[in-house]
Amino acid sequence: MRRAVNRMPLPMKDMSLSTFLKGAAIAGLMTLVISLVMVNIDWLGPVYSSEKEDIVTLLNVMIVLSSLVFSIVMVMMVYAIWKYRAKPGDESDGEPIHGNTRLEIIWTAIPTVIVIFAGVYSTIVLNDIEAKADNGKIMEVDVTAQQFAWRFDYPEQGVTSTELHVPVGTQLDLHLNALDVIHSFWVPEWGIKRDLVPGADLPGGDDIDDTVTVTPTEEGVFSVVCTELCGWGHATMRAAAVVESQDDFDAWAADQTKIPDEEDVSSGVPGGKGAGVFDDRDLTDD
């Protein structure tokens, strides 16, 4: 005989109000405990840029949200395992069950709302940390990566260096470019990461977002770390990031090598200087 196929019952169908409230209380308590533990772990290290403050807040909100989802799922699962366990000696098959449209709509709608919230909030934080400084104090630095070294050019000061020196409290507009393969710019204490892509500053390469914004808030010596596996020397690809007072920065900049004229430098690729000469030929001149 063919057995009737039943609809999947709503989980709360045969649950009393007091059981529901107990479950909700346990889930709430679990959320609180897990959140307190997880938020207090120092996941991202020292917060030495104004951008990183927003990033840490975003992470904490996501931790609390994840703890809530995790707790609700665990409470419901443990309750279901306990409540609907097989009685001793019960060898019968489980009830054949089809779907339940109402339930499916609910379990699709709630995650959709959560994911949309996370997406909108992340977008707001990203726009915030990439917004231009209110005081208009923005310093440009051209960051060039190649296997396995960093170069920092300061167009306003007209100097170049293998160390990244910056004045504290000034928003930096870092223009990122790579000469060979993809590298990634990361100062852990500042919290931001961005890839350096070969060709980003070539004509037609404008579609690659090659700038990153950061405002260091703490003086000290940190490390610029390449955080994209770029070859055998990747692990050694580091440079000093020195955050200092404006006066110390000015004194340092005055001491650095001037950026050489364009025609005197190779483009960083073998034969680059020759290629430059070739490209510069004026073909109309006979």
Phi, psi of 265 (to 5 degrees): -110, 145
What would the two tokens of residue 156 be?
């306003």
Shorter beta-carbon distance to Cu ion: residue 34 or 174: 174
Determine, following the binding rule CB under 5 A, whether residue 226 of this chain makes contact with Cu ion: yes
Determine, following the binding rule CB under 5 A, whether residue 159 of this chain makes contact with Cu ion: no
Determine, following the binding rule CB under 5 A, whether residue 27 of this chain makes contact with Cu ion: no
Candidates 52, 151, 165, 183: give the one binding Cu ion (CB under 5 A): 183
Shorter beta-carbon distance to Cu ion: residue 55 or 226: 226
Candidates 34, 176, 197, 230: give the one binding Cu ion (CB under 5 A): 230
Shorter beta-carbon distance to Cu ion: residue 237 or 239: 237
Report the Cα 108 to chain-centroid distance in Å.
Answer: 27
CB of 228 to Cu ion, least distance (A): 6
Dist CA 58 CA 226 (whole Å): 24
R_g of the chain, CA atoms, integer Å = 29
Number of residues that bind Cu ion (CB under 5 A): 4
User: Under DSSP, is residue 225 helix (H, G, I), strand (E, B) or coil?
Assistant: strand
Shorter beta-carbon distance to Cu ion: residue 34 or 226: 226
Q: Is the distance from CB of 219 to CB of 264 less than 8 angstroms?
A: no
- Segment interacting with Cu ion, rule: CB under 5 A, options 43-51, 94-102, 134-142, 237-245: 237-245
Of 139, 136, 151, 142, give the one whose Cα is nearest residue 244. 139
DSSP 4: P
Determine, following the binding rule CB under 5 A, whether residue 237 of this chain makes contact with Cu ion: yes
What would the two tokens of residue 168 be?
């504290």
CB of 186 to Cu ion, least distance (A): 10
Q: Which residues bind Cu ion (CB under 5 A)?
A: 183, 226, 230, 237
